[in-house]
């Protein structure tokens, strides 16, 4: 009986060592930014995947009738459970982001501007600055392929959806009417319009490519 127990423990130990040697590390790029990822397999079908993402870029766009310079800051940390139904490259994933994704906006106008439903001069409004943020914890689901599972090196491809929640928007101005109650009401109305303009980011699709090294 003791011999069987020893053999069983030895087999379990060998299995754990074999799985541990199948860990992988890599770099990713996609709609969540540039990132680093680490994969720790639990079995032939299950693995835990953790990662960090970050990037920023700027562009000009008209939102709610006002020309803005928009800065996007994608910053997040993720943990996911990967399920490989065929023990191969295909994986189904579910996880959460510690979500620091945000946007900042700055009006880029040189003439009269409509805030809410009222048109003001540039001097009265000054510069409109906005901050857009999302839920700090954001669940996601995805499907992808990890072609490094049976190789030392390999590429990955994933796509899915992150549920960030409805955006939170704050808007400020630095013009002559900064203390005017009527203008503040119009500014609040503009916040709502800007929130609706970014509303399509509440459930944000993503696509990610990666290069993995297995050790």
Sequence ranges of the domains in the chain = 2-214
The pLDDT of residue 159 is: 96
- What's the distance, Cα to Cα, between the start and end of the chain in Å? 36
Q: What is the pLDDT of residues 152-182, one digit of tens each?
A: 899 999 999 999 999 999 988 888 888 888 9
pLDDT, mean of residues 56-80: 90
Residues 6 or more apart whose Cβ sits within 8 Å of residue 44 = 84, 87
Burial 103-130 (b: 16+ CB within 10 A, else e): bbbebeeeeebebbeeebeeebbbebeb
Q: Which two tokens stand for residue 72?
A: 């996007």
Considering only CA atoms, which of 29, 51, 141, 42 is closest in space to residue 94? Answer: 141
Rounded to the nearest integer, the mean pLDDT of the chain is 87
pLDDT at residue 12 greater than cutoff 80: no
| Average pLDDT over every residue of 19-27 | 77
Judge whether 48 and 56 are in contact, CB under 8 Å.
Answer: no
The percentage of residues in the chain with a pLDDT greater than 90, rounded to a whole number, is 57
The confidence band for 141, taking pLDDT boundaries of 50, 70 and 90, is very high
- pLDDT the model gives residue 197: 85
pLDDT value of residue 114: 85
- Give CA–CA dist 101/117, Å, rounded: 30
Q: Is the pLDDT of residue 17 over 80?
A: no
Indicate if the pLDDT at residue 39 is higher than 90. Answer: yes
* CATH architecture for segment(s) 2-214: Beta Barrel (2.40)
In three-state secondary structure terms, 18 is helix
Strand pairing class (203-214; 66-83): unpaired
Is the pLDDT at 108 greater than 90? The verdict is no
Q: Model's pTM, two decimal places?
A: 0.78
d(CA 138, CA 41): 23
Q: Which helix (H) or strand (E) holds 80?
A: strand 66-83
pLDDT of 64 higher than 80 = no
Mean predicted confidence (pLDDT) in 17-36: 81
């Amino acid at each position: 009986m003791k011999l069987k127990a020893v053999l069983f423990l030895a087999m379990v130990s060998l299995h754990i060592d074999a799985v541990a040697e199948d860990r992988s590390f890599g770099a990713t790029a996609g709609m969540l930014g540039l990132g680093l990822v680490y994969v720790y397999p639990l079995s032939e079908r299950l693995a835990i995947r953790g990662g960090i993402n970050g990037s920023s870029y700027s562009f000009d766009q008209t939102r709610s009738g006002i020309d803005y310079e928009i800065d996007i800051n994608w910053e997040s940390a993720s943990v996911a459970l990967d399920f490989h139904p065929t023990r191969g490259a295909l994986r189904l994933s579910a996880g959460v982001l510690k979500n620091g994704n945000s946007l900042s906006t700055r009006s880029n106008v040189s003439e009269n501007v409509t805030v809410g439903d009222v048109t003001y001069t540039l001097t009265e409004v000054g510069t409109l600055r906005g901050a857009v943020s999302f839920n700090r914890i954001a669940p996601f689901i995805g499907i992808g392929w990890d072609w490094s599972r049976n190789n030392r090196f390999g590429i990955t491809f994933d796509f899915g959806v992150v549920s960030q929640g409805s955006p939170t928007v704050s808007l400020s101005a630095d013009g002559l009417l900064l203390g005017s109650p009527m203008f503040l009401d119009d500014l609040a109305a503009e916040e709502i319009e800007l929130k609706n303009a970014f509303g399509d980011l509440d459930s944000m699709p993503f696509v990610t490519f990666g290069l993995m090294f297995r050790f």
